[in-house]
Structure 1
Amino acid sequence: MVSITELLTDPAINAYILRLIGEEGIELLRRFPEEGEHSDEELAEKTGVNLNTVRHTLYTLYEKRLAEYRRLKNTETGWLTYLWHLRLDRLHDVIEEEIRDVLEHLDARLTYEEKNDFYMCKDCGVIYTFTDAASWNFECPNCEKMLEHFDNELIATALRRRVDRIKESLGSA
């Protein structure tokens, strides 16, 4: 498995993890013991990272399937202890999945931009689809000024470029 230090040398991965868990979370990852499972209290003590930050970081990583836990119940007290370990081997798959989600949203937006004709109120700055504009007789429902045709080709072109670049980076262009 690749170490966290090696992963963080990649600027894209570093930026992703920083956005996900922040500087303190990255510090926890850097100090996280390589072997075994550890409770959140133990991790806070061993790493010197605040317990709340440890818990927040672990739960955030868990939501992304980058950390897992095993739950133990103390038979005498009934207390639960969560023993955590990292699954950073899944990091590339998680990032790819998020990129594919973004691609899906951008594709949907591009389709919307390509299939609609738009009208804009120059005073209010609000843009309406042809269907909405026609239902208001091409008058702004806010200020009652005439709506003007809005050319969205720049938006569509930018979306097309972004979609193509993402597809290319995923190897599906």
Structure 2
Amino acid sequence: MINLDDPLIHGYLLRLIGEDGITLIRNMPEGEVTDEEICNTLNPLRTISKAADDKVKKLNIEIKAAKEKGEETKKLEKDVKAAEKEAETAKANLGDEKEITLNTVRKILFILYENKFTICHRERDANSGWLTFRWMLNMDGIYHQIEREKKKLYRNLVKRKEYEDNNIFYVCPQNCLRLVFDEATETEFLCPLCGEDLVFQDNEQFKELLDQRIEEFEETA
């Protein structure tokens, strides 16, 4: 199991799937599980509350059916009152539990799948044709993926530094846009959006920041 408290891994996953995604990984059941089973694991109190509500509904249906048949319902009515009390208690216990919805779970799982961090098997019911997706974590390649992302970011930083070095920039004082010198001359140094006079932008400080980031990457390479 990967160390989710490792700053490098935590930061990477936070950008990829957010805090809910990290919570999902921390609490993912062992083996192959469905998205609904994962959702129930992430929302234990809500799962209990739903089960209690379902029990009340089931008992009410049984009472209605018994009455239609002319059968005794006292025991069922006693059971439904007890079930309603359980449901109320379950709702009261929800407290501040943050809900992670089934749609959120599915979105996180598919993002992980796209990045090869989950294995997904599909099962089709022979009678209904309904597809069931079964998921299992596979985070073995995360360090390789992080290294690829770092190299990609490094290349982008170098390209951006070259772009900043090789151009002179003019900006709109209303923050409409930023143009290189040739583009600014085409608009006669007027903002094409609001008509304000464009002003020269000194990008030396930004280039220093880029140099610093590039140096940091090279030191850890």
Asked which structure has the greater CA Rg, the reply is: 2
Structure 1 Cα separation of the partners of residues 153 and 184 of structure 2: 30
Q: CA deviation at 1:50?
A: 4.3
Q: Which amino acid aligns with 2:195?
A: C
Structure 2 Cα separation of the partners of residues 79 and 14 of structure 1: 36
1:105 and 2:100 correspond: no
Q: Which amino acid aligns with 1:85?
A: M
Q: Any stretches of 5+ residues in structure 2 without a counterpart?
A: 45-99
Contact 1:68 1:86 in 2 (8 A): yes
**Corresponding residue number in structure 2 for 1:158:** 209
> Which range moves more in the overlay, 49-58 or 8-17?
49-58
Structure 2 Cα separation of the partners of residues 43 and 143 of structure 1: 55
**Corresponding residue number in structure 1 for 2:195:** 143
Q: Which amino acid aligns with 2:20?
A: E
**Corresponding residue number in structure 2 for 1:91:** 142
Structure 2 Cα separation of the partners of residues 98 and 109 of structure 1: 16
Structure 2 Cα separation of the partners of residues 40 and 86 of structure 1: 12
Identity %: 39
Find runs of 4+ consecutive structure 1 residues off by over 6 angstroms. none
**Corresponding residue number in structure 2 for 1:38:** 33
1:10 and 2:61 correspond: no
**Corresponding residue number in structure 2 for 1:115:** 166
Task: Give the length in aligned residue pairs.
Answer: 163
Structure 2 Cα separation of the partners of residues 150 and 22 of structure 1: 35
**Please, what TM-score do these two structures have when normalized by structure 2?**
0.63
**Please, what TM-score do these two structures have when normalized by structure 1?**
0.77
Backbone CA RMSD of aligned residues: 2.5
Q: Any stretches of 5+ residues in structure 1 without a counterpart?
A: none
Q: CA deviation at 1:10?
A: 0.8
Secondary structure of 1:27 counterpart: helix
Which structure is higher in RCO with an 8 Å CA cutoff and minimum separation 6?
A: 2
Contact 1:124 1:143 in 2 (8 A): no
Query: Which residues of 2 match residues 47-86 of structure 1 at below 5 A?
Result: 47=42, 48=44, 50-86=101-137
Q: Which amino acid aligns with 2:123?
A: L
Q: Structure 1 residues 166, 75: closer, same or farther in 2, change over 3 A?
A: same
Secondary structure of 1:20 counterpart: helix
